[in-house]
Amino acid sequence: NYPGTIFEAIGGADTIAQLVHHFYKRVGAHPDLIPIFPDDLTETEQKQYWFLTQFFGGPALFTLNRGHPMMRRRHLPFEITPTRRDAWLQCMDKALDETNIDEPYRTAMFERLTMTAHHMMNTPE
Ligand code: HEM
């Protein structure tokens, strides 16, 4: 159960699955993000489920299935501008609300995701 982790505190695998589902519904409808994402987001959602499970202290599913995370390197093929970073974070902010994640976990999660999103930028506007 990964005691003491955000993963456990928010409800574990079910909560992460709901979060990524709400998130990719928004990504797939966001005009700034559509151009760089695949039409079918099923596999993207699966990978993000693995990643966020691991990121918030659950089992290391991403590493198990995909190897070393090296997130910035995996994003280099995509032009991630400040506008796209903001769009990504906006989708995540709304998905956290839709998933009803309680404080203080909601804010802690959004702060960590914000730092990671800044790190993913690789293209000026
Ligand atoms: C993959 C965009 C930030 C985690 C991707 C893909 C795109 C993308 C286009 C490829 C989708 C696919 O082919 O399946 C963006 C944009 C971001 C962003 C525009 C804005 C800053 C983040 C952040 C995280 C993240 C902050 C983690 C907290 C992932 C993961 C994958 C992925 C886990 C799958 C990597 C793989 O296994 O190949 N992202 N991303 N992304 N992204 Fe992001």
**Any atom of ligand 1 within 6 Å of the Cβ of 110:** no
Ligand 1 mean position to 75 CA, how many Å? 6
How far apart, in whole angstroms, are the C-alpha atoms of residue 12 and residue 53? 8
| Domain 6-120 = CATH 1.10.490.10 | yes
Q: What are 17-40's pLDDT values in tens digits?
A: 999 999 999 999 999 999 999 999
How many Å is the maximal CA-CA distance in the chain?
43
The ipTM, to two decimals, is 0.96
Q: What are 47-68's pLDDT values in tens digits?
A: 999 999 999 999 999 999 999 9
Apex CA 33: angle with CA 71 and CA 36, to 5°?
A: 65
Contacts of 78 (CB under 8 A, 6+ apart): 36, 122
**Any atom of ligand 1 within 6 Å of the Cβ of 113:** yes
Residue 6 contacts residue 57 (beta carbons within 8 Å): yes
Q: Where are the domains of the chain?
A: 6-120
Ligand 1 mean position to 76 CA, how many Å? 10
Residue 1's pLDDT band, with cuts at 50, 70 and 90, is confident
Q: What are 72-102's pLDDT values in tens digits?
A: 999 999 999 999 999 999 999 999 999 999 9
Length of the chain: 125
